[in-house]
Amino acid sequence: MLAQCGEGCQKVNVVKRRASLCDLHTRVSSATVRSMKSYRVVLIPGDGIGPEVTEAVKQILAAAEAPVEWVQHEAGLTALAHGKDVLPVETLEAIREHHIAIKGPCTTPVGKGFSSINVQLRKKLNLYAAVRPVRSLDGVPTRFSNVDLVIVRENTEGLYSGIENEVTAGVVTSMKVATETACTRIARWAFHYAQQRQRRKVTVFHKANIMKLTDGMFIRCAEQVHEKEFAAFPYQELIIDAGCMKMVQDPTQFDVLLLENLYGDVVSDLCAGFVGGLGVVPGANIGDQDAVFEAVHGSAPDIAGKGIANPLALLMSAVMMLNYLGDTRGDEVCEQVAKRIKTGYDRALADGQKTRDLGGSLGTAEFASAVIARLRG
């Protein structure tokens, strides 16, 4: 039986190897299995609840003996407060050097001020694929069970191009950009991911009935990639309004969702609602060179500094990161550690150890301790 996402994934072509790893995992204690290598990972705590949840994640990864060495850098309001740019050059350079980062959320002013650091980072590093697994969790009862979706969001263009103009007083425009290169690239990434992980289907949500050129290009590129490279793989197109209606009726009918930038952003939070909220949905921004792992949620200014934020979404993102290291560097220890951490938080939730957003009473640090206590045995 294959698990189905980057957070708990097993890829088809490595099933055999991972099966033997599981055997190994039961026989050898964690203390005796150490990676030969340690990976330098850029850590950006970010703003709001960012520093609280990143601290919890650091502690859990240390307790699980994850072979990572943190290279801490700033971004967001925190960088600004220290007299730097919101996205300092040294932060970008560090990611380019080490190729991998984990990032807390960064605040973006609403309706004014600087443009989103997150969008800048994704564009500057060409992290074109946002992948966000959304799955039901034991111990987190919600309206639907057995939700197991993966959102693949185009991360570099669409309405996030940031090209806005005041045509004349009282008239403003925002430009939606679609390029054949980016649309084809993300479609190929989604089909490849879906096929490799034995997913059931790829569904594109679009509004090509209205945006005939931009969304028209998005679906045409998806159709072409499907037809030429993945013809046997189940594929579906839905106009996004009808798609959202079907989704809230029964999210289990969907599997991998392929969306342009804005739709992917909105649908990610919608899907988070199916499984317990933003505290439990991780994410990765992946390019051909670099990858930045971050939760779907923002800096949550309403609860920042109170020690009550749920660190699970960032912890799940860290598990995705370890699995990514395992996949791309062929390091089985990273995969073992990822599995150990996932077992730890699954057990904690099943034992009713939850933060307030999930109906529990634990604070951020208490939840981290509950996971650490369940890493072994």
Kindly tell me which of 208 and 292 has the beta carbon lying closer to ligand NAI. Answer: 292
Q: Which residue, among 21, 61, 35, 25, has the nearest Cα to 320 in the 3D structure?
A: 61
Kindly tell me which of 230 and 293 has the beta carbon lying closer to ligand NAI. Answer: 293
Q: What is the DSSP string of 173-206?
A: EE--B--HHHHHHHHHHHHHHHHHTT-S-EEEEE
Residue labelled with tokens 């951490």? 341
In which element (H, E) is residue 130 found? Answer: strand 129-135
- Decide if residue 154 touches ligand NAI (CB under 6 A): no
Residue 169, Cβ density class (10 Å: 0-12 exposed, 13-18 middle, ≥19 buried) = exposed
Residue labelled with tokens 């050097």? 97
> Collapsing DSSP states into helix, strand and coil, what is residue 31?
helix
- Decide if residue 7 touches ligand NAI (CB under 6 A): no
- Decide if residue 66 touches ligand NAI (CB under 6 A): no
Residue 285 CB, nearest distance to ligand NAI (Å)? 9
Residue 19 CB, nearest distance to ligand NAI (Å)? 34
Residue 365 CB, nearest distance to ligand NAI (Å)? 13
- Decide if residue 118 touches ligand NAI (CB under 6 A): yes
Kindly tell me which of 54 and 336 has the beta carbon lying closer to ligand NAI. Answer: 54
Q: For residues 308 and 280, what is the distance between their CA atoms, to the nearest angstrom?
A: 14
Q: Which residue, among 74, 73, 155, has the nearest Cα to 122 in the 3D structure?
A: 155
Site residues for ligand NAI, 348-367, by CB under 6 A, read 357
CA angle 162, 167, 169 (to 5 degrees): 115
With contact defined as beta carbons under 8 Å apart, do 290 and 122 qualify? no
With contacts defined by CB under 6 A, name the span among 24-32, 106-114, 119-127, 342-350 that binds ligand NAI: 106-114
Q: At 168, which amino acid appears?
A: T
With contacts defined by CB under 6 A, name the span among 105-113, 178-186, 204-212, 234-242 that binds ligand NAI: 105-113
Site residues for ligand NAI, 270-309, by CB under 6 A, read 278-279, 294, 297-303, 309
In which element (H, E) is residue 52 found? Answer: helix 50-63
Residue 360 CB, nearest distance to ligand NAI (Å)? 11
- Decide if residue 106 touches ligand NAI (CB under 6 A): yes
- Decide if residue 105 touches ligand NAI (CB under 6 A): yes
Provide the pairing of β-strand 100-103 with 164-168. Answer: unpaired
- Decide if residue 166 touches ligand NAI (CB under 6 A): no
Binds ligand NAI by CB under 6 A, chosen from 54, 78, 91, 107: 107
Binds ligand NAI by CB under 6 A, chosen from 310, 317, 323, 353: 310
Residues tagged active-site? 160, 207, 241, 265
In which element (H, E) is residue 21 found? Answer: helix 15-27
Kindly tell me which of 35 and 118 has the beta carbon lying closer to ligand NAI. Answer: 118
Residues that bind ligand NAI (CB under 6 A): 49, 105-108, 118, 278-279, 294, 297-303, 309-310, 313, 357
